[in-house]
Every structure is written in structure tokens, then in C-alpha cells.
Amino acid sequence: MIKRVPTLIAGTVLVFATIWAAFPLFWMTSMSFMPEAEANAFPARLLPVDPTLDNYAELFAYQHMGRYVLNSLFVACLATALSLAFNVTAGYAFAKLRFKGREKLFQALLAALVIPGQLTMLPLFFLLKNLHLLNTYVGVVVPFMSSLFGIFLVRQYALSLPDEMLQAARVDGASEWQVFRRIVLPNLRPIMVTLGVFTFLAAWNDFLWPLIVLSDDAYYTLPLAIAALSQEHLQDQGLMMAGATVTIAPVLILFILLQRHYVRGLLSGSVKG
Amino acid sequence: MSYDLRAFVKHLSPGHVFVAPALLILFVFFLAPVAGAFVMSFTDFDIYALADLKNLSFIGLDNYISLLGSPLFWKAFGNTAYFALVGTPLSIALSLGLAMALNTPGVGLKPVFRTVLFGPYVATLVAAAIIWRYMLDFHFGWVNRGLGVVGVPPIDWLGDPHWSMPAIILFAVWKNFGYNMLILLAALQKIPDELYESARVDGAGPWSRFLHVTLPGVAPVLWMVALLTVAGYFQLFAEPYVMTQGGPAQSTFSLLFYMYQDGFKYWNLGHASATAFILFAILIGISFIRNRSQEAFA
């Protein structure tokens, strides 16, 4: 009987908290299917009486939503691919290869963790302007290419690879690159998924840096596009909610599918990069 | 020259080759810009310098002096500190409470609760901020409707300068609690059950067990996530940008908002770099506390 009371309280708290956490997202989805009159009705409605796809049709037909979805998708995929290429090689080397200056370099990177990305934005803008990378996809992904967080994440995981396994391949005459390709990469797959999900979500959700780099709306990612849309169409609530749904749904689905990998990164790092 | 280069390359081990690309990128796009920002903050870098660096001159500490004498800067600083120092305890308390609920034995459906509770953290910030503009709407929003049920008169959340920051804090807590909740849950799971058992045998009630077993058990992690959250909250930007544009009456104007507007709207890049460095100094201060306290806990 004593054990039941805390369980009951905890269960109740969780039910209410879950409703509170999910409600705005639920309402967003529900309202995105409401015709204009229902979405703007007072008092606000919870569910559409006469559901419609009009808001989505309007977004894709007249607000270039398709273009923005592709922009976001491309930016997030490019960021993920580059981040994997640079961080996995470096993270593995810091964990398993001996080279001169390794410890000092690593300490320096650790110290650099406190530097916030925003500090680099003003000079980086000037640099990208001179490299003619403003208003390009590459310009948007620059901060994601190589990250301290990514290097640490991979290094932490790679430390657990057994040295004997790598040594055996070397004895068999494999070059370092072959060892990396054939032995290391397959064994690092779980952490690569983790890093990939993190980078994809971060690039998809990013706002301030794309806002600085992209002034031409042909290159807008979804967050920029819906922020701009909200300045003109705030009264059009169904339309805005459809835009928010298009932006949020892909990352939520990705998270639900790859949750296990995401949480591993969250717990192993606890450092934000 | 090429001969030297060859000798140099031969001297490199495979490890160097593996880390070189990442380090090169970090150097060009991260560390060099940091140094650049530092130099910039002592110059009058503006739109003319952006076109031609010949128009640049060093002005010593003038940017810092002008910032520290500017009411707008102090307004932004005060707002950001308000957001960070009020938002963090609320956010951490909620994270800890829900982590404890999730750690209670006998509660069913835990994976479902955990996933849904983490949802807001994954959701795109800008899109979530748009939803919350409607949630917080004076006439139409669910927050005021909910308050009406318990007899609280409607609040003009985003239109009243006294309520705009609490509204943004409410949103930020909803958006962020999931992250710390999962970290704290992992810490709670590491506290051995025997500690709770022996406390119970000693006649400790739930509150006393919380104070003497749970809190000490998660204290180092709790302190770490609190400081990381403060540091993160000092970087407030997108929430006011989307929900209030820094208003009303600049009540949600933040340091980073100031840097953005100063640098990228009015093109005072030198002046804005000084703001960025002051923000950096604050974050360094916070991480210094963290390092010192980690030693204390260890």
C-alpha cells in the first residue's frame, strides 16, 4: 500500500506533463487541417469539423513551400555528410592513432569548447562575403562541417575499440587508410548514426546563422521561410500552423525513429558544440 | 621549397593526416574568426570597411566604452540576465521533477512518456515559437483560457511589457526541459536502491529521502546542467525575434538580438563584436564557476 501512493502521484504528474508538452504540437497539427473560418473561429477549436488540405495546398502552390522543404533537406543532408566526413576521421585519430602533439592539440580543443558560435558570426560573415559564399548552401553549413562536439563524441566511442583488432589488420599488411575503411568505420556505425542525427536536427532547426547568410529567399530554409511568412500572414492561423507542421513533422519523425541513437549522444556528451 | 615540403610530409604520421582536414576547417571557420572578432571589436568596422578594408581604423576601447554607456545595452543585458536567472531554476526544477516521476518504480508506459516529453526539445524552435504566439494570444489563446477556468483574468502576455518576458520564459521552459530531464534521469538511475532502502529503515519520510539521498546523488549533475542551461539561456535570440521582435517597449530585447541588429541590420560590425565579446566574457565566467565547482565535487 505504501508503494502505491508514490506510483500514483508520479503517474498523475506524468500524464498532466505529457498533455502539456504535447498539446501545442497537437493543436498545431489539428489547426493546420481547419478551413479558414474554423481556424480563425472564436473561441479556438480543438479539432476540425470539416478537415481540409487547403492550407497545405496554398503553402505549396503560392508560398513556394516545396522549394523551402528541398532547401532545408539539402542543407541538413549536406551538413550531415560533411560533419561525418571530417569529425569521424579526426575523432578516431584522437582516440587510436599516436602522433606528435596529440595530447596538446586535444587539450586545446577541449579549452575551445567554451567559445560560443555566435562569437564567430561577424568575422565569418566578412570571410564568406569575400569567398562569395553568402547566399549559398555551403555558406549555411560552414559551422556544421567540423565541430568540437562531433570530434569528442566520436573519440569517446572510438576509445572502446580494441587495439588488438586494429593491430591484427596492420600485421596483415593493411595501410592505415584500409584499417580505417574496413575495420574502424563498420565498428563506428552506431556513433555515426548518433552524430548524423544530431547534425541533421541541428542544421534543420538552425535559425540565426542562416538568417545572417541568406538574404535571397530562394535559398531560405524552413525556419527562415516560416518566420518571414509569419510577418505577413500572422492572421492566417491555419496557414501558419500548416507551415509549422511541415517544418516540425520531419524532425519529430526522425527523432522517434532514431531515438535510441539520439539519446546516446545526449548522454555521452552533455557538452553542446 | 618543394623538397622541404616533401620532407615535411614524410615527417607526418597517419594521425596527422587524419586530423588535418577537421583541424584546418576548425581553424579557418572557427578559431581564426574568433581572433578576428577580437580584433574587430577594437575597430570601427562598418559597411564601408565591409566594402574595402582601407576604410577601417583602430579606435581602441571606444566600442566597449560606448556600449557600457549605452542604456540599450544595459536594457538588453538586464533582460537576458532576467531570462537566464529566472528561466534556469524553473526549467531545472521541472526537469528534475519529471525525471523523478519517470524514475518511480511501478509507473507504466515510461518509454511513451519519455518520448512525448522530449518532443518539444526536438521541435524546430522557430515553428514552436509561432505556435506559442497563438497559445499566448490574449483573446484566442489556450493559456488564457486555461487560466480563465481557474478564475484568473486574461493576461496580455506578449503585449504587456511586464508579462512579455515571463511569456518567453514559459515558452522556453516548455521547449527545453526535456533535455535536462533525460540527463537527470540517467543520474537518478545511478543512485543505488539500497540507499533509499536504508533511509526508509531509518524512518526517513519522502521529503527527507529527497533531501538526503536524491539531491546529494544528483548534485554534481544538477549543478552541471544548471550552469550549461544558464549559459545556453544567455544566448537568447530566436524566441524574441519570432514572438515579440524584442518588444513591447524593448522588454524582450536580448544581448544576442542587440548584436544581430547592430551588426547585420545597421552594419556596425566592430561595435557588435564588442557586444559578442562581452557575452563571451559572461559565458567564460559561468564555465569558470563550473570548472571550480567540478573540482569541489570530485
| A272 band by pLDDT with thresholds 50, 70 and 90 | very low
Residue A240 touches partner B, C-beta closer than 8 Å: yes
The pTM score is 0.92
A238 at interface of B, judged by CB pairs closer than 8 A: no
Interchain proximity B237–A208, CB inside 8 Å: yes
Cell numbers found for residue A132: 562569395
Cell numbers linked to B296 = 569541489
Min distance A122 CA to chain B CA atoms (Å): 6
**3-state secondary structure string across B209-270:** HHHHHHHHHHHHHHHHHHHHHHHHHCCCCHHHHHHCCCCCCCCCCCHHHHHHHHHHHCCCHH
B95-A223-B226 Cα angle (round to 5) = 20
Q: A97 vs B18: CB contact, 8 Å cut-off?
A: yes
pLDDT for A154 equals: 94
Is the CB of A122 less than 8 angstroms away from the CB of B273? yes
Inter-chain touch B273–A146, beta carbons under 8 Å: no
What is the percent of chain B with per-residue pLDDT over 70, rounded to a whole number? 97
| Cβ–Cβ under 8 Å, residues A124 and B25 | no
pLDDT tier at B295, thresholds 50, 70, 90: low
- Please report residues of B whose CB lies closer than 8 A to that of A243: 127, 130
In this predicted structure, the answer to whether residue A176 has a pLDDT above a threshold of 60 is yes
Q: Is residue B105 over pLDDT 90?
A: no
Cα A51 to Cα A30, A238, B142, B148, B159: the distances in Å are 9, 11, 21, 28, 32
Mean pLDDT on B132-156: 93
Q: Does B242 touch chain A (CB under 8 A)?
A: yes
Average of per-residue pLDDT across A65-91: 97
Query: For B106, which of A7, A180, A270 is closest by C-beta distance?
Result: A7
Report pLDDT for B12: 77
Whether the upstream peptide bond of residue B192 has omega within 30° of 0, thus cis, is no
Contacts of B141 in chain A (CB under 8 A): 44
CA distance B235 to A76: 22
Please name the member of A44, A208, A272 whose beta carbon is closest to the beta carbon of B142: A44
> In which band, very low, low, confident or very high, does the pLDDT at A128 lie, cut at 50, 70 and 90?
very high
**Mean predicted confidence (pLDDT) in B128-157:** 93
Whether B127 and A222 lie within 8 Å, measured CB to CB: yes
How far is the CA of B279 from the CAs of B76, B258, B273, B274, in angstroms?
Answer: 11, 11, 10, 9
A243 and B CB contact within 8 Å: yes
What gap in Å lies between CA A255 and CA A143, rounded to an integer? 22
pLDDT (0 to 100) of residue A273 = 32
Residue from the list A86, A97, A222 with its beta carbon closest to the beta carbon of B14: A97
> pLDDT tens digits for B41-72?
999 999 888 888 888 889 999 999 999 999 99
Q: Which of B34, B117, B182 sits opposite A21 (nearest CB)?
A: B117
pLDDT category at A2 given cuts 50, 70, 90 is low
How far is it, in rounded angstroms, from Cα B161 to Cα B251?
Answer: 5
Confidence of residue A3 (pLDDT cuts 50, 70, 90): low
Q: What pLDDT, in 10s, does the model give residues A134-152?
A: 999 999 999 999 999 999 9
How many angstroms separate the Cα of B176 from the Cα of each of A18, B7, B57, B239?
Answer: 14, 52, 42, 12
Average pLDDT over residues A175-203: 94
Partner residues linked to B58 by β-bridges: B43
DSSP assignment string, A64-94 = -HHHHHHHHHHHHHHHHHHHHHHHHHHHHHH
Structure confidence at residue A39 as a pLDDT band (50, 70, 90): confident
pLDDT class of A271 with cuts at 50, 70, 90: very low
Tens of pLDDT, residue by residue over B242-290, are: 999 998 999 999 999 999 999 999 999 999 999 999 999 999 998 888 7
Region label for A222, one of left (φ > 0), alpha (ψ between -120 and 50) or beta (otherwise): alpha
Q: Angle at Cα B96 formed by Cα B90 and Cα B100, nearest 5°? A: 145
User: Measured between CA atoms, how close is B98 to chain A, in angstroms?
Assistant: 7
- What is the reported pLDDT for A1? 46
Per-residue pLDDT, averaged over B120-138, amounts to 96
Average pLDDT in the B153-173 region?
A: 95
**Closest Cα in chain B to A129:** B50
* pLDDT(A59) > 80: yes
Query: To the nearest whole number, what is the mean pLDDT of chain B?
Result: 91
Comparing alpha-carbon positions, the chain A residue that sits nearest to B226 is A270
The residue assigned the cell 550552469 is B227
